[in-house]
Amino acid sequence: MKYWRFVWANLWRKPIRTIFLFISVVFGFTLWGLLLGFDANLRRIADSANAARIYSFPRFGGKLVLAQMQPISRMHFVSKVGALGAILGYYQQPRNRVAVFMQGPGMLEVFQDLPLTSQQWAALANSGAGVFVSRLYAMRYGLKAGSNFPVICPDLPRADGSDVWTFHVLGVVPDIPLMPVGFATGNYDYLDRARREGDRGQVQQFWVLAVDAAHTDEVTREIDKWFSSSDFPTRSVSEKSLLASAGGGGTDALNAFVSLAFAGIVMVVIVTTNALRHSIRERTTELAVMKAMGFSNYKITAHVLAEAAIPCLLGCFVGLVISAALTAMMPRILPAAVVFPMPTIDLQVVGSGIAAALLVALLAGAWPALRIARLDVAAALARQ
């Protein structure tokens, strides 16, 4: 601590340069926070998967029907089945795609991670056109409890011929990793009553719980085999493999995020190294005097590394704060049509940022350390 004033004074030797260095570091770590935050969220999504849950979709873009629930529930190793309807349309403009998931029979047992209390489930069941929306949806579309939420769905006209489904927001609930871009959820019974007679009884997906994770693959195959030659063939996939591919698994997306984050840190290393190099060059005589006074190579190098570490650590802190703020604001400031999982600035991202900041300081200090160790005191003083 007794060297703190000395280190701080040297940092502000050229205030403008220090500020530019700091700004550069902040940008580098803002990028770090955002990209590793994306990475963290995608991994969180993949990790949150329920290994025993399966989704069954229409195989060729057609439909499924409620009557299929019974044979599925009787299959080996099936614990529970739920039916989900969906209104896939848009809000205000066609580019603002929205999906309102309509909870049908059995979904309360199969989708226990939906963040609704039992009172909210009951309200949903009794509310008709009522929906609960997640915070991301609320921020993106400016919704709150009591708002109207009209969704236009040309593919799913109502019985009265209109393609506008006007929902009433009952409340805003937390987001869940399973639906990283947010969600709106309503009542399947209302959907079924309100749509055309010929479309009644149709289902968007079945959610199936296997007795345990070990039997998921078997159940998946059995469901598809059972309905393969029916009028409503299915394509089933486990939640785990669906989230893994949605989160970039099996693609190069995750590697790209981390590579880009490192590119930002390389930038910081370049700028910090250059700053330190110039600073040491300009202070050669001062360093020689310090050595003459008795300061060891180790002590002088430690000072220099501290001069690198302080802007790196402070810049890391500010950069991560900015990335956290951007993350919170993104759903509000991005166009509603732009939808992707938001970054998560968790402890791992912060920890890795601090580690990266220290590594940058070490890398930037390597050349000065060598220069200090090799400094010929007499020769440096003779050049005065």
Partner 1 sequence: MTPAISMRNVGKTYKKSGRLAVPVLNGLNLEVQERQFLALMGPSGSGKTTILNLMGGIDRPDSGEVIVCGHHLERLTSNRLGIWRSNNVGFVFQSYHLLPVLSAAANIELPLLLTNLSRSQRLAHVKAALEIVALSDRASHKPSELSGGQQQRVAIARAIVTDPKLLVCDEPTGDLDRSTAEEILLLLRALNEKYSKTIVMVTHDQKAADYATRQLHLDKGELMERATEVT
Partner 2 sequence: MRRYRQMRVVGLLSLRNLHTRVRSSWVIVAALTVVSAVLLSASAVDEGIKLAYLSVGHADRAIITSSGAVRESSSSIPQSWLGPIFDAPGIRKARDGMPVVDAEIYDFVGSLVMKDGKSGETEVRGIGPKGLEMSPEIKIVDGRSYRPGTREVLVGVLARQKFSSTELGDQITMVDGGKWTVVGHFSTGSFIDGDFIADPQILSDALQRTSYSSVLVGLESAKSFDRLANVLRTNPAISVTVERQSDFWRRQFENLPAGPLILDYMVSILLAAGAVSGILHTMHTTIGARAKEIAILRMVGFGGVPVSVAIVFEAMLFACMGAVIGTAIDWLWLNKYPLMAAYGVFRIRVTSHLLVVAIAWALVTALIGAIVPAVQEARLEVVDALGRI
* Site membership for partner 2, residue 278 (CB under 8 A): yes
CA Rg value for the chain: 29
Determine the Cα–Cα distance for residues 245 and 42; give it in Å rounded to an integer.
10
34 binds, among partner 1, partner 2, none (CB under 5 to 8 A by kind): partner 2
Determine the Cα–Cα distance for residues 81 and 208; give it in Å rounded to an integer.
4
Which CB, 198 or 374, lies closer to partner 1? Answer: 374
Please report, as a single letter, which amino acid is at residue 185. Answer: T
Determine the Cα–Cα distance for residues 35 and 334; give it in Å rounded to an integer.
17
The least CB distance from residue 117 to partner 2, in Å, is 32
- Please report, for residues 14, 287, 374, 384, the alpha-carbon distance to residue 282 in angstroms, rounded to integers and kept in the order given: 11, 10, 16, 12
- Return the number of other C-beta atoms located less than 10 Å from residue 40's C-beta: 20
With CA atoms as reference, report the closest residue to 99 among 41, 172, 181, 158: 181
* Site membership for partner 2, residue 274 (CB under 8 A): yes
Which CB, 163 or 286, lies closer to partner 1? Answer: 286
Binding mask 318-357 for partner 1 (x = CB under 8 A): ----------------------------------------
Work out the angle between the directed axes of helices 297-333 and 347-374 (0-180°, nearest 10). Answer: 150
21 binds, among partner 1, partner 2, none (CB under 5 to 8 A by kind): partner 2
The least CB distance from residue 92 to partner 2, in Å, is 17
260 binds, among partner 1, partner 2, none (CB under 5 to 8 A by kind): partner 2
The least CB distance from residue 187 to partner 2, in Å, is 26
* Site membership for partner 2, residue 329 (CB under 8 A): no
Which CB, 119 or 229, lies closer to partner 2? Answer: 229
The least CB distance from residue 289 to partner 2, in Å, is 21
Residue 338 is given by DSSP the state -
* Site membership for partner 1, residue 43 (CB under 8 A): no
User: Which of 53, 80, 195, 291 is close enough to bind partner 1 by CB under 8 A?
Assistant: 291
Owner of token pair 């250059």 = 274
- Return the number of other C-beta atoms located less than 10 Å from residue 340's C-beta: 12
Question: For the chain, how far is it from start to end, CA to CA, in angstroms?
Answer: 31
Which CB, 26 or 369, lies closer to partner 1? Answer: 369
Please report, as a single letter, which amino acid is at residue 266. Answer: V
- Please report, for residues 28, 236, 269, 275, 338, the alpha-carbon distance to residue 43 in angstroms, rounded to integers and kept in the order given: 22, 23, 27, 36, 21
User: Which of 51, 122, 214, 292 is close enough to bind partner 1 by CB under 8 A?
Assistant: 292
**Residues in 216-235 at the binding interface with partner 1, rule: CB under 8 A:** none
Give the 3-state secondary structure of residue 12. Answer: coil
User: Which of 7, 66, 302, 339 is close enough to bind partner 2 by CB under 8 A?
Assistant: 339
Determine the Cα–Cα distance for residues 347 and 58; give it in Å rounded to an integer.
40
Binding site for partner 2 (CB under 8 A): 14, 16-17, 20-21, 23-24, 27-28, 30-31, 34-35, 38, 60-62, 155, 221, 228-229, 233, 235, 237, 241, 244-246, 248-253, 260, 263-264, 266-268, 270-271, 273-275, 278, 334, 337-340
* Residues binding partner 1 (CB under 8 A): 2-3, 5-6, 9-10, 12-13, 285-286, 289-297, 299, 377-378, 381-382, 384
